[in-house]
Every structure is written in structure tokens, then in C-alpha cells.
Amino acid sequence: MAPNSRLILTRHAQAEHNVDLDYTIPDAPLTPLGKKQAASLPRLTPTLQASADVILSSPLKRTLQTTYLGWAPAIARLGGLKAVVVVPAAQECNDLPCDTGSARSALEAEEEFARFDLAPLTPEWNSKEGFYAASEEALEERAAFVRRLLRDRPEKNVVLVAHGDILRRITRHPDDERNPGEYPWKNAEVRVFGFDERFVGTEECWLWEEEGEGGGAAAGGYGLTSTEVEGGEEEGRL
């Protein structure tokens, strides 16, 4: 366990479903603008690029694209894309087409995704059932599972590229006034967290946000998540 780890959390850049709120797009990839946003992250985060010890990523197309574009210097230093650890548990929350990942065979058929080590993608990883279900109970357990996974990594500086809804659940804290879990993540935004020492040994192992540690970079504007649209929060948030 590495309770003193720094967690460098990143939301994906603008994806196709963020533009016109079309959540029927299967495994929505980045837009051309989103690729530019992701590619600008190295310029915005040079210190974090130099200190990252491992890169983790949700296996959806938009997060994999954000990973290889946004963390390119760190990835090159750490040994290339095969060194990136794909984390199925970090996939987005809802069971809409845009939030449902592609089968391993489909990703391996596309050159840009076949460069990753996709061995962790089991047949049920994109089923949206059981552990991966969109139910409240399953989502809370999955977020806690990701926090424990991050806690138990041996590296000190851990990058995770994921999605707005699951990142809010991962960073949720019982003391909402100190560390609110409803933060509206921008596209291609990077924030740095650590473990709350009061809870690091527990099953929940809550996080706290570090200040002045190189986070706060955002290459894109606010792109609504599918949960926010379904909840009627779209007005005034674009």
C-alpha cells in the first residue's frame, strides 16, 4: 500500500457525444477538437509528465485517445503504450451506447487501439451487468474498487484517465464541504488528489484534493456527461 501516493486524475477530451448530446453514438471517440485538446496537455502539465510513474486508463475509445495524446511524454519515458494499464473498472457509469466500451477484438482490429495491452478486457467488461452495472449500488462499489486499486499500486505518482461521472464518484468524500464530489469536470482537465489519512486503511479509502501540486490544467470547456443530461442539468452548463 502506498498511502502517500499522488493521484493525477484526468477527464477525457471532447468526444462526439459531448457536441450535440447524442448519447446513441457507440463508444464515442474524440472529435478533431478533442484530439487537439488532448494533445495540448503535455504543454500544460510538464511537471506532472516528468513525475508520472504509471499511466492507467479507462478502455473506452475516448479515454484511450486522450491517454496516448495527453500523456505522450510520460508514456514515452515509461516504455510506450504497452506500459499503459487499462482499467475496465474506470469505465463510464451509464449503460448508454456512448458509455459502453467496445469488445477487445474490435479494439484490436483498429491500429490506434491495438497498440495498448488489452489483455485485461474480459468478455463481460462491456456488458454493463453485475460489477459493471449502472445501478447505484454497483457504481458505488466500483468507485470504491478503483480507489482501492489506486491505493494499492506501488508507484508514487499514478495517472488515471477516465470520465466525468465515474471521476465524481471516485473523488466523492463524506465531508462534502471540504471536498465536494459533484465537481463538473471539464474536458481534458487534470486534478491531483491524495488519500485522506483518516480513511486510507478502510474499504472506502476516500481521497482529498491537493492544492498547488501541478493540477488544475484544463484544455477544454465543460462537456456534459450523460448523467447530467438525463438528470435535466443541461440548461446553462454549455
Q: What's the pLDDT at 211?
A: 72
Provide the pLDDT for residue 227: 61
Check residue 217 and give its pLDDT.
Answer: 80
Within a domain: residue 1? Answer: no
- Give the DSSP H or E segment for 70: helix 61-70
For residue 88, is pLDDT > 80? yes
**Does any domain span residue 235?**
no
Q: Which domain holds residue 162?
A: 6-230
Rounded to an integer, the average pLDDT of 154-171 is: 96
Q: How confident is the model at residue 233 (pLDDT cuts 50, 70, 90)?
A: very low
Instruction: Report, as an integer, the average pLDDT of 87-93.
Output: 98
C-alpha separations of 30 from 34, 81, 236 in Å: 5, 18, 23
**Number of separate domains in the chain:** 1
Average pLDDT over residues 7-22: 94
In a domain, 238, yes or no: no
- Residue that wins the pLDDT comparison between 53 and 19: 53
Please give the pLDDT value at position 45.
Answer: 95
Q: Does the pLDDT at position 3 exceed 80?
A: no
- Average pLDDT score over residue span 189-199: 94
Cell of 143: 468507485
Confidence of residue 154 (pLDDT cuts 50, 70, 90): very high
CB atoms within 10 A of CB 113: 21
Residue 185 lies in a domain: yes
Predicted TM-score (pTM) of the model is: 0.90
Q: 93-109, pLDDT tens digit by residue?
A: 999 999 999 999 999 99
Look-up: residue for cell 458509455?
A: 99
- Cell 482537465 locates to 189
| Dihedral sign from CA coordinates of 188, 190, 70, 79 | negative
Does residue 139 belong to any structural domain of this protein? Answer: yes
- CATH code at position 16: 3.40.50.1240
In a domain, 237, yes or no: no
* DSSP code per residue over 47-65: HHHHH--EEEE-SSHHHHH
Tell me, yes or no, whether 149 lies in a domain.
yes
